[in-house]
């Protein structure tokens, strides 16, 4: 059997490469996205809020004007364990990229060995020592190997690893935004629960005063026991509501502490101090749909996964073609270390290897088909992610706008029920109306105020969901450090 010469192998491989092209497999192409020109084009009338095409605020939590909330977000970005785990995955992906980037290049190994033998002692059969007296042998050398990336297998592998790295960064950004949104939502709900607790306690004071007056009238024979029970019943109901509200406040504080990477009770002293809740704005910048693709981390991640899957089709395709590697060696052998560097002690060699896949074509083609299917799956996942993102934004716009309309209507309801309550109390004091009218009017007023507080909290949580859907904020915080 004849061995092909090194020059012949290289020449044949270069000819094959010229036919096949520089890199096997398809090149990545950015997929089209079904986006509209503006958000909310077919939304109902939104008189209560204005959405603008300006770019959303980078640090939208600062826009809410609550220094403690901004501090908590910064603390969570630095200490949250989910974010820490995502950062570790970034480092892993970066290391895997470095592995792929160094694959297939020039590799050089160096070594040195020494051997000593004496007459009459056991000497390995492969030893070249034949003298009767003691002899030493020192050998040193370099071996080099370079695999030619003729069909782009290594290039496509680097492309895939680079895309996986970028996907890990965007995954971490998505985790960051989720944590920030959860901190903000729990903070808003905590402040809302504190306001509700204050409302219940204020109402209980008024109800207690009404109960004392009714009991005094009952003792004087001017009221019935039924009147006392009618006044006392809503008071007891509010007393029963207090423990649940306090539990909600503390649970939210515990959750915020854990989200910032601390123990559950670490922030209780600061968070349990009542403070005004952030107010929902009437003007909200939302940007353009086309910008959403470059801003939302999950869309960036699924696109990078598509890019990686496309490159991996090239890796699988390149396995169908031959592989060529060049080798070289330089070895020096001498009896003394100082003689290793003499020209007469050196031996060098050059070689080439051609590896052709035989009897594996079916398996390799199946691998290409599988890689292509994974790329199709990645494309479908990306397209679905785009549609879901657009849906989330459009739904959040409508939900926020309609909640603002509801809030304004509740403000009017609170004002009217407050007037009715004061009038009913005045009429009762003058003996025109019985106590039942006062109780009903007060209950209606308290319920409307509670509904208004709930609407204000809902407006803020809808706003937070909108900003999360818009994908804004990650550029203000670093996840790659």
DSSP secondary structure of 202-246: HHHHHHHHHHHHHHHHHHTTSS-HHHHHHHHHHHHHHHHHHHHHH
Specify the number of domains making up the chain. 1
The CATH number assigned to the domain holding 227 equals 1.20.1600.10
DSSP 421-435: HHHHHHHHHTTSS-H
Residue 257 has pLDDT above 80, yes or no: yes
User: Lowest mean pLDDT: which of 37-51, 111-125, 241-255, 447-461?
Assistant: 111-125
CA distances from 254 to 198, 249, 261, 291, 412 (A): 20, 9, 11, 36, 35
**343/331 Cα distance (integer angstroms):** 11
Residue 131 has pLDDT above 60, yes or no: no
Q: Is residue 120 assigned to a domain?
A: no
Alpha-carbon Rg of the chain, whole angstroms? 38
* Average pLDDT of the residues in 53-82: 92
Q: Is residue 14 assigned to a domain?
A: no
CB-CB neighbours of 67 under 10 Å: 9
Residue 17: predicted pLDDT? 47
Paired with 146 in beta bridges are: 106, 326
Joined together, the tokens standing for residue 318 give: 């390149």
**Of the ranges 45-54, 285-294, 404-413, the best mean pLDDT one:** 404-413
Q: What is the mean pLDDT of the chain?
A: 84
User: Lowest mean pLDDT: which of 263-267, 346-350, 356-360, 405-409?
Assistant: 346-350
More confident residue, 395 or 127: 395
Q: Is residue 346 assigned to a domain?
A: yes
Residue 15: predicted pLDDT? 55
Residue 326: predicted pLDDT? 75
**Of the ranges 45-54, 111-120, 308-317, the best mean pLDDT one:** 308-317
Q: Is residue 51 assigned to a domain?
A: yes
> 378 with 27: CB under 8 angstroms?
no
> 299 with 35: CB under 8 angstroms?
no
Question: Of 413, 332, 406, 308, which is closest to residue 49 (Cα–Cα)?
Answer: 406
**368/151 Cα distance (integer angstroms):** 14
**242/249 Cα distance (integer angstroms):** 11
**Residue 62's pLDDT band (boundaries 50, 70, 90)?**
very high
Q: Is residue 13 assigned to a domain?
A: no
Residue 448: predicted pLDDT? 96
**Residue ranges making up the domain that contains 50:** 37-114+134-476
Residue 144 has pLDDT above 70, yes or no: no
CB-CB neighbours of 174 under 10 Å: 21
**Residue 125's pLDDT band (boundaries 50, 70, 90)?**
very low
Pairing of strands 283-285, 50-52: parallel
- Is 47 in a helix, a strand, or coil? coil
Residue 1: predicted pLDDT? 39
Q: Is residue 456 assigned to a domain?
A: yes
Report the predicted TM-score, pTM, of the whole model to 2 decimal places: 0.83
User: Residue 355's Cα: distance from chain center in Å?
Assistant: 43
Q: Is residue 199 assigned to a domain?
A: yes
**33/326 Cα distance (integer angstroms):** 46
Joined together, the tokens standing for residue 302 give: 């699924």
**Residue 123's pLDDT band (boundaries 50, 70, 90)?**
very low
CB-based contacts of 126, cutoff 8 Å, min separation 6: none
Residue 339: predicted pLDDT? 53
**159/20 Cα distance (integer angstroms):** 19
* Average pLDDT of the residues in 435-462: 94
Instruction: Give the model confidence (pLDDT) of 314-351 as tens digits.
Output: 999 988 888 877 776 666 555 555 554 555 555 666 77
**Residue 72's pLDDT band (boundaries 50, 70, 90)?**
very high
Residue 280: predicted pLDDT? 87
* Average pLDDT of the residues in 293-319: 94
**Residue 432's pLDDT band (boundaries 50, 70, 90)?**
confident
Burial of 18 (C-beta count, 10 Å sphere; 0-12/13-18/19+): exposed
Pairing of strands 106-117, 283-285: unpaired
Q: Is residue 29 assigned to a domain?
A: no
Joined together, the tokens standing for residue 248 give: 């909600």
């Amino acid at each position: 059997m004849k061995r092909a010469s090194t020059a012949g192998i290289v020449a044949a491989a270069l000819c094959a490469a010229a036919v096949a092209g520089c890199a096997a497999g398809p090149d990545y192409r950015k997929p089209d996205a079904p986006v509209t020109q503006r958000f909310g084009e077919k939304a109902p009338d939104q008189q209560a809020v204005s959405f603008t095409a300006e770019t959303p605020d980078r640090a939208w939590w600062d826009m809410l004007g609550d220094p403690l909330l901004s501090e908590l977000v910064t603390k969570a970005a630095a200490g949250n364990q989910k974010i820490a785990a995502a950062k570790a995955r970034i480092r892993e992906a970066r290391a895997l990229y470095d592995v792929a980037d160094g694959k297939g290049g020039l590799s050089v190994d160096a070594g040195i060995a020494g051997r000593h033998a004496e007459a009459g002692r056991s000497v390995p059969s492969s030893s070249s020592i034949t003298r009767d007296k003691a002899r030493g042998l020192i050998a040193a050398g370099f071996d080099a190997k370079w695999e030619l990336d003729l069909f782009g297998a290594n290039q496509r592998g680097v492309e895939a690893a680079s895309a996986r790295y970028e996907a890990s960064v965007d995954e971490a950004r998505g985790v960051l935004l989720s944590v920030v949104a959860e901190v903000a939502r729990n903070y808003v709900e905590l402040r809302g629960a504190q306001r509700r607790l204050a409302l219940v306690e204020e109402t209980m004071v008024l109800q207690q005063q009404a109960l004392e007056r009714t009991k005094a009238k009952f003792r004087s024979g001017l009221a019935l026991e039924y009147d006392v029970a009618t006044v006392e019943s809503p008071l007891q109901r509010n007393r029963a509501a207090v423990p649940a509200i306090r539990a909600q406040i503390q649970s939210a504080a515990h959750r915020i502490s854990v989200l910032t990477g601390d123990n559950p009770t670490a922030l209780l002293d600061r968070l349990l101090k009542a403070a005004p809740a952030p107010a929902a704005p009437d003007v909200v910048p939302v940007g353009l749909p086309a910008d959403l693709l470059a801003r939302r981390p999950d869309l960036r991640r699924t696109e990078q996964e598509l890019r990686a899957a496309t490159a991996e089709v090239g890796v699988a395709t390149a396995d169908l073609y031959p592989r060529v590697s060049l080798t070289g060696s330089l070895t020096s052998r001498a009896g003394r270390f100082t003689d290793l560097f003499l020209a007469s002690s050196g031996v060098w060699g050059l070689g080439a290897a051609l590896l052709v896949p035989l009897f594996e074509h079916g398996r390799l083609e199946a691998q290409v088909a599988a890689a292509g299917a994974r790329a199709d799956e990645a494309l479908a996942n990306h397209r679905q992610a785009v549609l879901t993102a657009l849906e989330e934004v459009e739904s959040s716009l409508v939900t926020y706008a309609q909640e603002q309309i509801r809030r304004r209507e509740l403000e009017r309801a609170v004002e009217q029920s407050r007037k009715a309550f004061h009038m009913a109390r005045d009429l009762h004091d003058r003996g025109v109306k019985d106590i039942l009218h006062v109780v009903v009017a007060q209950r209606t007023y308290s319920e409307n105020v509670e509904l208004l507080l709930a609407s204000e909290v809902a407006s803020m949580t809808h706003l937070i969901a909108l900003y999360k859907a818009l994908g804004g904020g990650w550029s203000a915080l670093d996840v790659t450090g």
